[in-house]
């Protein structure tokens, strides 16, 4: 199970990387905008800055929505750094672009996936990763973790190489549920990763250990 951090915030990326458990980063246009990064040149510089922090895959999303635009933009993004994975929306042009990229050995992350059928097309086109959006499905009273499990089962049954990257993770509980569903990767906000550490028995146990040590050593 790999951990990616789902942010374009360099401080958070550094903090997660310093924990020693980070395998990569995912970004999207909303996350880039949240950091106030404007313009093509600044976006590309920011992707390189992220790649220089983390030794792992970094998803950079195309803005173009047509096949020609996606392939042109994706090739430019992939040329920025060897760790860039081109993130492509799950549309007809996106699937065609993923097929093109897989023929050029450019790695891809098929994003905005909400159904097994979309995940099937992504895998058949040769996507490196498929990103089912867990939290956004839960938001509409659907079951995001169930979708992750269905995609894992389908890919296992047919022997697809595409990795299942659980996205739109909102909590530590989501991460554990995605582990149980067999996801290859979870991309998570820093708070959800840190949430895995929280347990009251760890806190009270540590307090007792330190108090007992203090008692005999003072």
Q: Is 128 in the site for ligand E4P (CB under 6 A)?
A: no
Residue burial 178-202, b: 16+ Cβ < 10 Å; e: rest: beebbbbbbbbbbebbebeeeeeee
Q: Which of residues 93-112 bind ligand E4P (CB under 6 A)?
A: 111
The least distance separating ligand E4P from the CB of residue 215, rounded to whole angstroms, comes to 47
| CA dist., res. 86 & res. 101, Å (int) | 9
Q: Kindly tell me the number of DSSP H helices and DSSP E strands found in the chain.
A: 11, 8
The least distance separating ligand E4P from the CB of residue 88, rounded to whole angstroms, comes to 11
Task: Point out which span in 90-98, 117-125, 128-136, 143-151 binds ligand E4P (CB under 6 A).
Answer: 128-136
Of the candidate residues 7, 28, 71, 83, the single one contacting ligand E4P (CB under 6 A): 28
Check if 87 is active-site: yes
- Distances 132 to 22, 68, 126 between C-alpha atoms, Å: 20, 25, 16
Q: Is 168 in the site for ligand E4P (CB under 6 A)?
A: yes
Q: Is 195 in the site for ligand E4P (CB under 6 A)?
A: no
| CA dist., res. 205 & res. 158, Å (int) | 47
Task: Point out which span in 33-41, 64-72, 132-140, 196-204 binds ligand E4P (CB under 6 A).
Answer: 132-140
CA-based nearest residue to 66, from 95, 28, 94? 94
Q: One of 87, 96, 99, 150 is an active-site residue; which one?
A: 87
Q: Is 57 in the site for ligand E4P (CB under 6 A)?
A: no
| CA dist., res. 153 & res. 149, Å (int) | 6
Q: What residue ranges bind ligand E4P (CB under 6 A)? A: 6, 26, 28, 111, 131, 133, 135-136, 167-168, 187
């Amino acid at each position: 199970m790999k951990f990616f951090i789902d942010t374009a915030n360099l401080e958070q990326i550094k903090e997660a990387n310093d924990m020693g458990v980070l395998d990569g980063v995912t970004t999207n246009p909303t996350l880039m905008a949240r950091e106030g990064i404007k313009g093509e040149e600044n976006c590309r510089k920011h992707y390189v800055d992220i790649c220089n922090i983390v030794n792992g895959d970094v998803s950079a999303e195309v803005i173009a929505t047509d096949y020609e635009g996606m392939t042109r933009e994706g090739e430019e993004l992939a040329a920025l750094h060897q760790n860039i994975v081109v993130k492509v929306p799950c549309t007809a042009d996106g699937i065609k672009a993923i097929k093109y990229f897989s023929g050029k050995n450019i790695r891809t992350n098929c994003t905005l996936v909400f159904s097994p059928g979309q995940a099937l097309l992504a895998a058949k086109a040769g996507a490196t990763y498929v990103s089912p959006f867990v939290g956004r499905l839960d938001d509409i009273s659907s079951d995001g973790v169930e979708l992750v499990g269905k995609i894992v089962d389908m890919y296992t049954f047919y022997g697809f190489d595409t990795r299942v990257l659980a996205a739109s993770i909102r909590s530590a509980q989501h991460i554990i549920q995605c582990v149980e569903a067999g996801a290859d990767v979870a991309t998570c906000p820093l708070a959800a990763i840190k949430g895995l550490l929280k347990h009251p028995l760890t806190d009270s146990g540590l307090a007792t250990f330190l108090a007992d040590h203090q008692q005999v050593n003072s």
